[in-house]
Amino acid sequence: MKPINFSIGLSAVFNFFSKGAQHRPGAYLCRVGEMPHALVRRGTRLRTLLAILGAASLSAAPNPPIILDASGVANLRIETVEVDERDFETTVFAIGRIEEIPSHHSVLSSRVPGRVLSLNVFEGDSVAAGDIVATIETRQIGDPPPQVELRAPQGGVVVTSHIRLGQPVQPDAELMDISDRSSMWAVAKIPENEAARVKVGSQAHIRVPALGASTFEAKLIRFGVNADRGAGAVEGIFLIENKDGKLRPGMRAEFSVVLERRANVLAVPRKSIQGDPSNRVVFVKDFDLPNAFLRVPIVIGERNDRFVEVLSGLFPGDEVVTQGSYSLGFAGSGQGISLKEALDAAHGHEHNEDGSELTEADKAKQAASAEEGHAHEGADTLSRPLMIYAAVLTLLFLVVLQRLWNQRRA
């Protein structure tokens, strides 16, 4: 069917509605409400009109739950956590690198000149303090010439070896580098505007991207001697344990330096927060329906590397979606089961399409509507309350347009 063209002059529209509202408000509202009803009888598409009338009601209407089946939950890998009050940390973010502790690095050398007679370790091997790592045949007179055993000055990993079998050596030559990496330095570039709040002993959560999701805990032991003028940062040196040897010098590190802690703060994991910065939402598991999730607007406060403070919108005990929350925002677009079907299955009796209980009056109304629909072949599709509702929305919409029109003319 061909849609109606709503190209009517603004002044004529304003005059019509304003006069009608002043002289006969009741009849005016009924008349305006009958307009969409009459258009439906004529089979007209109301795309433009319904977009205007429904804008306010859609923005205020509650979002229906997103209902999935078991396979949908499995495909989205849905995981939830229970909202609870916790100790909340205020942190500052910094980046940096993993470095060796200078006092844990040693160099092996020979006290006398000679040549390498035997070599027991190579790069990457672990040694203990006092282990024989090489034997040197000296240049002193003798048959055979005297030999000198070179022992590891400390335990650790052979990171560099400069000698090979038969190679001549001199006392001033560095033969081997050994590093004890059981603990390392994590050097952070702390922004200068936050450095005053960081103290020796401050704790940091450190993530090394090369090692995946693993997080290391460390404490600040000292500050660097100089500031980085180009980066506008001060170096903070954290001592970090490395018993398994996974950390290596030069690895990039991300720091969340703890500035303060607050108790009993309602907070949720960062990955549960969705939406744009002006409209933050979380998905909350329905307490009654299985595999159903509600889109809940929230107001957030501070955030750190792991959690976000929730100022309003949630209560302790709510279950929010963490894993799969992003994908859940694109689900429930009519391909899953409806709210009515889910409630009927959960409660064992019928419900209305909006989820409310189906009363005897509702059943009688549905039966009457079905009979009326057969009698009039589907002509009357809008009820009188809906006509009044549409009229009120139209009036409000046009009042706003009238004000805008007056401002424009002024």
Can 92-100+182-263 and 106-179 be said to share one CATH topology?
no
Q: pLDDT per residue over 74-120, tens digit each? A: 999 999 999 999 999 999 999 999 999 999 999 999 999 999 999 99
High-pLDDT (> 70) share of the chain, %:
70
Q: pLDDT per residue over 117-160, tens digit each? A: 999 999 999 999 999 999 999 998 888 899 999 999 999 999 99
How high is the pLDDT of residue 142?
Answer: 86
Domain borders along the chain are 92-100+182-263, 106-179
Phi, psi dihedrals of residue 39, rounded to the nearest 5°: -65, -35
Average pLDDT value for residue range 250-257: 95
How high is the pLDDT of residue 369?
Answer: 65
CATH class of the domain at 106-179: mainly beta
Q: pLDDT per residue over 41-80, tens digit each? A: 444 344 334 433 443 333 334 567 888 888 888 999 999 9
Q: pLDDT per residue over 165-222, tens digit each? A: 999 999 999 999 999 999 999 999 999 998 889 999 999 999 999 998 889 999 999 9
Q: Judge: domain 92-100+182-263, CATH 3.40.50.410.
A: no
How high is the pLDDT of residue 284?
Answer: 94
